[in-house]
């Protein structure tokens, strides 16, 4: 690890590469205790950089250079310069070849970046800058090359050898080895390179594209998982069809492969033609994966597949443009999931996630623009801002242009930039050119960080029948960007006005000849702006930011009765849910204040009435009912607090849940029993109607358990014992784990672990359920679980399941006033920093939010951050997060 201080890299310093690589020929010789990589690069001077032949500086890290040949001439060590990060040679002509051989050690690579071994198989992860750990290269996304890859390995241990593109040859080698050659005709940056070698099984299918080409589809897994691939295969085929129908995008190679690996730093990776997935994002079947896991698999398969166009065919010029591919691809996968399931429920879940987690990031020390202008370690910028807010930004363009205009823009973008490495500006330009619009002001969403606030006030003039809404936008200060220097955003606000009967009023703005519909989008473009509607015969109730049409914090002085009215009457499903959330927030904040003043908690019964009405409405989508019954989480209540009072938030929310459980227990019990009975009679299907039924059944059970009634305990045990699917079984386990029934809890945990001890992904669920239990003693339970034979810090899924779930979701235990949770996390980050910097840096996130808490906790959290900083050699990943958090 480096000792010098890592450097900041700036977007403003971007320069095109001095040299280009037209062809990349790689040969991998894989052995047990090392591997050899031979690279031949066909290179030329980049004409865009002018004349002359500057030194050629190749990226390379942790490589043992064995030989280097420039233009067919062997170089000796005096002919090149070697640093821990680079190899520099001096070309003597405009075009030349460069041959290198290096030795690397995948077998000891614990950072899971570059070429590494996982459960006995070789695999790669190159995005963003992992390829430089494989061979010397121009490891930057604007250097695009064709790749020919030969892999040589022992045939018995590694019968399957894969790389990008199409298979072009194979044969036997010496000493029980064999070779296979793959060729990828599409130019791509090195971050999309992939290699896999292992003893793998696969399921195979075919897909016929819109121009009638037959594509082979394969999903490779370890033998024992071969029965858990069908859902991913179905998802892949649906994604391929959807991208043809909705975006006109056809797949381009003869084969598309997915490989599942157990040790993976994130969800999955879109390598050209050879996606590599965390096994948690591939494997799903009823008995072992929940409904949420099935939906996650479907979404990630789609996301990675969609990258074939948004990311691979058209890629990023530099890593500051990461959202060009990520924001757009998240937007695309969200569209797909909405079409496959309930669109409203998908939107609700995405917005709840964004508001809880991205808003917190945007308000913390790591806040950055969707297109950041500087970074130390790019791995730290695979963030909710780049992904989720980036998707919202693309979504706003969609809202402003309409579906047809957006499609014209995306067609132009793909056609104009096919085979190129481009910028966010190029994306917006295509949208502008295809639609004849000017999005200059809109582009501030890419450069200004922080969640804008939009305060709305109303005034009604009964004599003139006019109704005015005044919007005031402001942006918070974020690191390096003072709030008062930020310029107004373009904020598309989708809205409607409801009359006293709950009917939509036709909307005509002053100056318009006729009304245009009853729900429409207005663009707020100024710091303060008033819109006046005419022909409004009575004081209306506004429904604002329908479908969450912009990622802002909107406030309007609704009273609780108005929110209840919107919950029942709004024609926008998302806003019905949101009205319920706002009502819950008001009620919970009142309880939080009571708790802080040491008063007895008394809950506003209107929340009971409102949720009781929802629960009684059989016509509502059951998934909607389940969403509406879910109170805002503690993390969200933290995010919206000026200073988060951990104890008061927890006490208030638990009190509200108790109240709802006892007041609504009859209705909940009825819903529970009906759905559980149906479940018993119906075979598991991974479809939205079934997800909805189980979601309502399960939230009902978790409320009911709070009543402590014996018949509910019996029901939970019955569901745990007899469920034919993981969704019901895991919920039953979770409610038992969070209950006071110690014997039943211990028994269920033991039975579950015994039944699933061979299945790592199921054991992850078992760890998470316990890590999330808010009962006292959380840290001790987590520490004990770290000693369990199924736990290892070396596997990122395990770290996330136990440590991530504890620090991120079990707020009352993690934020224990004595600082024990903070100390525990800091110790782990120090340990993880030593062998997997990316995971270490991710786990650090909860400590970076120290400004949200009371002064005692602030001091404890900061103290731990400082302790990590002083702990020795820090990876750039951890160094960057620490230095920004303590700045």
Catalytic site positions: 304
From residue 382 to residue 401, what is the string marking binding to ligand B3K with x (rule CB under 6 A)? x-------------------
> Which regions of 238-334 does DSSP assign to beta strands (E)?
255-261, 268-269, 274-278, 315-316
C-alpha distance from residue 374 to each of 7, 15, 378 (Å):
10, 14, 9
Q: Which stretch binds ligand B3K (CB under 6 A): 207-215, 268-276, 332-340, 433-441?
A: 268-276
C-alpha distance from residue 157 to each of 221, 274, 648 (Å): 15, 20, 57
Cβ at position 65, least distance to Zn ion in Å: 33
Q: How far is the CB of 345 from ligand B3K (least distance, A)?
A: 23
Q: In angstroms, rounded to a whole number, what is the distance separating the alpha carbons of residues 142 and 159?
A: 34
308 vs 739, which CB is nearer to Zn ion?
308
Q: Which of 101, 379, 380, 391 binds ligand B3K (CB under 6 A)?
A: 379
The answer to whether residue 127 forms part of the interface with ligand B3K (CB under 6 A) is yes
Closest to ligand B3K by CB, 126 vs 197, is 126
3-state secondary structure of 259: strand
Cβ closest to ligand B3K, residue 269 vs residue 695: 269
Angle at 856 between CA 853 and CA 859, to 5 degrees: 85
Closest listed residue to residue 198, CA positions, set 155, 258, 257: 155
**Contact flag: residue 269 with ligand B3K (CB under 6 A):** yes
Q: Which is nearer to ligand B3K, 303 or 546 (CB)?
A: 303
Which of residues 179 and 306 has its CB atom nearest to Zn ion in the complex?
Answer: 306
Least distance CB 265 / ligand B3K (angstroms):
6
Instruction: Confirm if 491 and 550 have CB atoms less than 8 A apart.
Output: yes
HEC profile for 386-420? HHHHHHHHHHHHHHHHHHHHHHHHHHHHHHHHCCC
| Residue 127 binding result from ligand B3K, Zn ion, none, given CB thresholds of 5 to 8 Å by partner type | ligand B3K
Binding mask 800-839 for ligand B3K (x = CB under 6 A): ----------------------------------------
User: Could you tell me which of 365, 385, 480 has the C-alpha nearest to residue 882?
Assistant: 365
Which residue among 128, 564, 646, 882 contacts ligand B3K (CB under 6 A)?
Answer: 128
Per DSSP, the three-state class of 310 is strand
Q: In what order do the strands lie in the sheet with 466-474?
A: 528-533, 466-474, 453-461, 553-555
- DSSP code of residue 134: T
Contacts of 230 (CB under 8 A, 6+ apart): 203, 285
Q: Verify binding: residue 764, ligand B3K, rule CB under 6 A.
A: no
Query: Is the peptide bond prior to 128 cis by the omega test (within 30 degrees of 0)?
Result: yes
- Calculate the CA 478 to chain-centre distance: 22
Which of the listed partners (Zn ion, ligand B3K, none) does 570 bind, with a CB threshold of 5 to 8 Å by partner kind?
A: none
Shortest Cβ 304–ligand B3K spacing (Å) = 5
Q: Which is nearer to ligand B3K, 268 or 706 (CB)?
A: 268
Nearest distance in Å: CB 391, ligand B3K: 11
Size of the site for ligand B3K (CB under 6 A): 12
Minimum distance between the CB of residue 163 and ligand B3K, rounded to whole angstroms? Answer: 18
C-beta of 114 vs 452, nearer to ligand B3K = 114
Nearer to ligand B3K (CB atom), residue 307 or residue 800: 307
For residues 260 and 498, which CB has a smaller minimum distance to ligand B3K in the complex? 260
Tell me how far apart the alpha carbons of residues 11 and 777 are, in angstroms, rounded to a whole number.
47
Supply the minimum distance, in Å, between the C-beta of residue 128 and ligand B3K: 5
Indicate the residue among 239 and 688 with the shorter CB distance to ligand B3K. Answer: 239
- Using CB under 6 A, which residues numbered 279 to 318 contact ligand B3K? 303-304, 307
**Alpha-carbon distance 179 to 145, whole Å?**
23
Which partner from the list Zn ion, ligand B3K, none does 592 bind, CB cut-off 5 to 8 Å by kind?
none
Whether 600 and 594 have beta carbons less than 8 Å apart is answered as yes
Task: Kindly tell me which of 268 and 497 has the beta carbon lying closer to ligand B3K.
Answer: 268
Q: How far is the CB of 278 from ligand B3K (least distance, A)?
A: 10
Question: Can you say how many angstroms the Cα of residue 274 is from the centroid of all Cα atoms in its chain?
Answer: 21
Cβ neighbours of residue 102 closer than 8 Å, sequence gap 6 or more = 36, 37, 39, 60, 63, 64, 65, 66, 135, 136
Q: For residues 581 and 587, what is the distance between their CA atoms, to the nearest angstrom?
A: 10
How far is residue 445 from each of residues 30, 391, 436, measured CA to CA in Å?
Answer: 46, 11, 20
Q: Are 478 and 400 in contact (CB under 8 A)?
A: no
Sign of the Cα torsion 652, 655, 656, 657 reads: positive
What residue is closest to ligand B3K based on CB? 127
CB of 480 to ligand B3K, least distance (A): 23
Sequence-separated (6 or more) residues with CB below 8 Å from residue 538: 462, 499, 500
Tell me: does residue 570 bind ligand B3K (CB under 6 A): no
The residues in 316-355 that bind Zn ion, with binding defined as CB under 5 A, are 326, 329
Sole window of 12-20, 36-44, 261-269, 290-298 interacting with ligand B3K (rule: CB under 6 A): 261-269
**SS3 for 147?**
strand
Kindly tell me which of 128 and 194 has the beta carbon lying closer to ligand B3K.
Answer: 128
The strand pairing partners of 478, in sequence order, are 481
User: Are 536 and 466 contacting, i.e. CB atoms less than 8 angstroms apart?
Assistant: yes
Picked from Zn ion, ligand B3K, none, the partner binding residue 382 (CB below 5 to 8 A depending on kind) is ligand B3K
Q: Which stretch binds ligand B3K (CB under 6 A): 98-106, 267-275, 359-367, 658-666?
A: 267-275
User: Could you tell me the smallest distance in angstroms from the CB atom of residue 877 to ligand B3K?
Assistant: 10
Q: How far apart are CA 99 and CA 218, in angstroms?
A: 33
483 φ, ψ to 5°? -55, -40
Q: Least CB distance from residue 325 to Zn ion, whole Å?
A: 6
CB 127, min distance to ligand B3K, A: 4
Residues 6+ apart with CB under 8 A from 793: 786, 799, 828, 831, 832
Q: What share of the chain is helix, strand, coil (3-state, %, to 5)?
A: 45, 20, 35
Q: SS3 for 276?
A: strand
Tell me the three state secondary structure of residue 145: strand
Q: Which of 722, 717, 757 is nearest to 739 (CA)?
A: 717
Number of H helices, E strands in the chain: 30, 31
Tell me the closest approach of the beta carbon of residue 270 to ligand B3K, in angstroms: 5
Q: Does 270 bind ligand B3K (CB under 6 A)?
A: yes
Strands (E), 134-237: 145-154, 160-163, 166-172, 177-188, 195-198, 201-208, 214-221
Binding residues among 398-417 for ligand B3K as defined by CB under 6 A: none
Closer Cβ to ligand B3K, 128 or 623, answer by number: 128
Binding residues vs ligand B3K (CB under 6 A): 127-128, 266, 268-270, 303-304, 307, 326, 379, 382
Binding residues vs Zn ion (CB under 5 A): 326, 329
């Amino acid at each position: 690890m480096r000792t010098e201080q890592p450097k900041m890299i700036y977007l403003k310093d971007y320069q095109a590469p001095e040299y280009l690589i037209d062809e990349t020929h790689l040969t991998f010789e894989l052995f047990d205790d090392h591997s050899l990589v031979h690279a031949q690069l066909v290179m030329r001077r980049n004409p865009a950089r002018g004349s002359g032949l500057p030194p050629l500086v190749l990226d390379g890290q942790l490589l043992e250079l064995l030989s280097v040949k420039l233009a067919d001439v062997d170089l000796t060590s005096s002919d090149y310069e070697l640093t821990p990060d680079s190899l520099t040679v001096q070309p003597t002509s405009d075009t030349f070849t460069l041959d290198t051989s290096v030795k690397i050690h995948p077998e000891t690579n614990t950072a899971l970046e570059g070429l590494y071994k996982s459960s006995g198989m070789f695999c790669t992860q190159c995005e963003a800058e992992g390829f430089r750990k494989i061979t010397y290269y121009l490891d930057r996304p604007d250097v695009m090359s064709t790749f020919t890859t030969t892999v040589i390995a022992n045939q018995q241990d590694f019968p399957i050898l894969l790389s990008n593109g199409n298979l072009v040859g194979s044969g036997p080698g010496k000493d029980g080895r064999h070779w296979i050659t793959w060729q990828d005709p599409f130019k791509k940056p090195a971050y999309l390179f992939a290699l896999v070698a292992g003893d793998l099984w696969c399921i195979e299918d075919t897909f016929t594209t819109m121009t009638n080409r037959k594509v082979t589809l394969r999903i490779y897994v370890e033998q024992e998982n071969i029965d858990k691939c069908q859902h991913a295969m179905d998802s892949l085929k649906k994604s391929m069809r959807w991208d043809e129908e909705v975006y006109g995008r056809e797949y381009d190679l003869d084969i598309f492969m997915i490989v599942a690996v157990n040790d993976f730093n994130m969800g999955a990776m879109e390598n050209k033609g050879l996606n590599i997935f965390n096994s948690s994002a591939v494997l799903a079947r009823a008995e072992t994966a929940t409904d949420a896991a099935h939906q996650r698999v479907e979404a990630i398969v789609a996301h990675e597949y969609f990258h074939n166009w948004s990311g691979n065919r058209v890629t990023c010029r530099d890593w500051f443009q990461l959202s060009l591919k990520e924001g757009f691809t998240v937007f695309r996968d969200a569209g797909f999931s909405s079409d496959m399931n309930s669109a409203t429920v998908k939107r609700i879940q995405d917005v709840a996630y964004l508001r809880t987690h991205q808003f917190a990031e945007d308000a913390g020390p790591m806040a950055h623009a969707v297109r950041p202008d500087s970074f130390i370690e790019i791995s730290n910028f695979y963030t909710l801002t780049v992904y989720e807010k980036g998707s919202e930004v693309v979504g706003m363009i969609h809202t402003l242009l309409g579906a047809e205009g957006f499609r014209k823009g995306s067609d132009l973008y793909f056609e104009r930039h096919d085979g190129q490495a481009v910028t966010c500006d190029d994306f917006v330009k295509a949208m502008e050119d295809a639609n004849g619009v000017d999005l200059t002001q809109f582009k501030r969403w890419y450069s200004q960080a922080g969640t804008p606030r939009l305060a709305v006030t109303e005034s009604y003039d009964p004599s003139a029948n006019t109704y005015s809404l005044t919007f005031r936008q402001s942006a918070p200060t974020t690191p390096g960007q003072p709030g008062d220097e930020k310029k107004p955003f373009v904020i598309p606000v989708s809205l409607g006005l409801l009359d006293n009967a709950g009917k939509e009023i036709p909307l005509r703005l002053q100056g318009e000849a006729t009304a245009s519909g009853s729900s429409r989008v207005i663009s707020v473009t100024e710091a303060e702006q008033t819109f006046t509607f005419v022909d409004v015969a009575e004081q209306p109730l506004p429904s604002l930011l329908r479908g969450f049409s912009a990622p802002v914090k909107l406030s309007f002085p609704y009273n609780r009765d108005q929110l209840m009215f919107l919950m029942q009457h709004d024609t926008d499903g998302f806003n019905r849910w949101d009205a319920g959330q706002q009502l819950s927030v008001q009620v919970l904040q009142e309880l939080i204040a009571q708790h802080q003043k040491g008063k007895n908690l008394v809950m506003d019964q209107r929340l009971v009435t409102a949720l009781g009405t929802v629960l009684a409405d059989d016509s509502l989508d059951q998934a909607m009912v389940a969403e509406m019954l879910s109170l805002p989480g503690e993390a969200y209540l933290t995010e919206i607090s000026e200073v988060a009072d951990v104890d008061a938030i927890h006490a208030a929310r638990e009190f509200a849940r108790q109240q709802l459980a006892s007041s609504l227990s009859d209705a909940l019990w009825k819903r529970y029993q009906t759905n559980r009975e149906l479940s018993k009679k119906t075979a598991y299907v991974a479809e939205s109607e079934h997800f909805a039924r189980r979601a309502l059944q399960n939230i009902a059970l978790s409320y009911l358990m709070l009543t402590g009634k014996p018949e509910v305990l019996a029901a939970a045990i019955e569901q745990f014992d007899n469920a034919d699917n993981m969704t019901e079984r895991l919920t039953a386990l979770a409610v038992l784990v969070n209950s006071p029934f110690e014997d039943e809890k211990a028994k269920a945990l033991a039975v579950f672990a015994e039944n699933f001890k061979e299945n790592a992904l199921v054991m992850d669920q078992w760890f998470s359920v316990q890590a999330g239990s808010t009962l006292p003693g959380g840290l001790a339970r987590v520490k004990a679980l770290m000693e369990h034979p199924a736990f290892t810090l070396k596997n990122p899924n395990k770290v996330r399941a136990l440590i991530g779930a504890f620090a991120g979701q079990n707020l009352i235990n993690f934020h224990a006033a004595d600082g024990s949770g903070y100390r525990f996390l800091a110790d782990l980050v120090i340990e993880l920093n030593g062998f997997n910097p990316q995971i270490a840096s991710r786990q650090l996130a909860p400590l970076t939010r120290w400004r949200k808490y009371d002064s005692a906790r602030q001091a404890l959290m900061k103290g731990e951050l400082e302790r990590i900083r002083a702990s020795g050699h820090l990876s750039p990943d951890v160094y960057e997060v620490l230095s920004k958090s303590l700045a």
